[in-house]
Amino acid sequence: MTPILISGLPGAMALETARLVAESADLALTPFALTSAKHDSESLLIGAEKLRLVECKHVAPADLSADVVAVDYSTPEAALENLAWFVRQGLPVVVGTTGFDREEAIRLVREAGGLAVIAPNMAIPIVLLQAAARYLAETFPGALAGAELTIRESHQAHKRDTSGTAKALVAAAQTLGFGFTVEQIESIRDPARQSNELGVPDEHLDGHALHRYDARCAGGTVQLVLEHNVLGRRVYAEGTLRAIRFLIARRKADVRGQVFCMEDVLRG
Ligand SMILES: NC(=O)C1=CN([C@@H]2O[C@H](COP(=O)(O)OP(=O)(O)OC[C@H]3O[C@@H](n4cnc5c(N)ncnc54)[C@H](O)[C@@H]3O)[C@@H](O)[C@H]2O)C=CC1
Ligand SMILES: O=C(O)C1=N[C@H](C(=O)O)C[C@H](O)C1
């Protein structure tokens, strides 16, 4: 069993991932998990296991065995500092958190000879769409120059940042020729609008991710619409476990100083 250190408890994604790790046959939770100052010294029950919540600065190196793999689902503000800590401890890490400086994160991992999967979306069906968008952009740069784009995303009210998934797609859209910037993304966080206008079921108001990309081409005579809509969080946790197992294999193969994306994980 590979021990998995979860960071971001008692948050929603960290919780979903911890539960799936606890159910798995090949992974096990470390006896403690990482949290913010607010929750330091609390404890949390995951299945039958009681996890101690601690800030990373209170973890002694002796508490970490050499085979631990870490997962971070914290906040945009905490993610880089946490990543630096994981890398210092020599832990491979899956970073699902969004809203931080990705280039800085990549630099940090490479310079320290660390190992990480960093991806704004761990859901395999959505990773496939991202791969398709990247393929189109790389193969046909400028093909849609002059076309117009609107992007709308809806998430639970407590989400702090603009969708990292939508922001990542903007990069491909720009290469295709759309004059669109991330500041133009419309973020919907109002539960009343989500319920009445977008039809989000009540039980998923607290955990959903709706994305709609609407392109008008050829002077508005052609409309292309792409949507991906997720209810709940299970699909991200499943992708996270795939990323964990990918990193376990890379560590075994003695790979160092590399940052992977979910497309790499899918390729295996
Ligand atoms: N890559 C993906 O597929 C997905 C990414 N996300 C991203 O994951 C992140 C977390 O999302 P949620 O769980 O919904 O948020 P949340 O707000 O429910 O949880 C965040 C948690 O981080 C904890 N935290 C704050 N500072 C911390 C620190 N220094 N160290 C460790 N933990 C700390 C907070 O106590 C809180 O419990 C967001 O950035 C979100 O965009 C969410 C879903 C899927
Ligand atoms: O906060 C969320 O919930 C999600 N965050 C990720 C993002 O910002 O793209 C992935 C997904 O949209 C769910």
Instruction: Delineate the domains of the chain, giving CATH numbers in brackets.
Output: 2-118+234-267 (3.40.50.720), 124-231 (3.30.360.10)
Nearest CA among 124, 128, 118, 123 for reference residue 98 = 118
How far apart, in whole angstroms, are the C-alpha atoms of residue 198 and residue 210?
A: 9
Torsion angle, CA of 122/71/38/189, rounded to 10 degrees?
Answer: 0
Sign of CA dihedral 57, 67, 259, 73: negative
Going from the C-alpha of 182 to that of each of 49, 111, 148, 152, the distances in angstroms are 41, 29, 14, 11
Q: Beta strands 258-260 and 186-188: pairing type?
A: unpaired
- Residue bearing the CA closest to ligand 1, atom 9: 97
Q: Is the CB of 36 under 6 A from ligand 1?
A: yes
Q: Which of 38, 57, 58, 159 is flagged as catalytic?
A: 159
Residue 155 annotated among the catalytic residues of the structure:
yes
Q: Are 106 and 122 in contact (CB under 8 A)?
A: no
Each residue's pLDDT, cut to its tens digit, for the chain (268 residues) gives 999 999 999 999 999 999 999 999 999 999 999 999 999 999 999 988 999 999 999 998 888 999 999 999 999 999 999 999 999 999 999 999 999 999 999 999 999 999 999 999 999 999 999 999 999 999 999 999 999 999 999 999 999 999 999 999 999 999 999 999 999 999 999 999 999 999 999 999 999 999 999 999 999 999 999 999 999 999 999 999 999 999 999 999 999 999 999 999 999 9
C-alpha atoms less than 13 angstroms from C-alpha of 92 in its C-beta half-sphere: 28
Q: Which of 36, 82, 234 to mutate to test the pocket of ligand 1 (most atoms within 8 A of CB)?
A: 36
Ligand 2 site: residues with CB under 6 angstroms? 98, 120-121, 155, 159, 163-165, 209
Nearest CA among 118, 216, 233, 205 for reference residue 164 = 118
Going from the C-alpha of 139 to that of each of 132, 143, 176, the distances in angstroms are 10, 9, 9
State the chain's maximal CA–CA distance in angstroms: 64
Task: Enter the ipTM.
Answer: 0.99
Q: Which of 73, 233, 260, 262 to mutate to test the pocket of ligand 1 (most atoms within 8 A of CB)?
A: 73
Residue 159 annotated among the catalytic residues of the structure:
yes
Give the nearest ligand 1 atom to 14 CA.
13
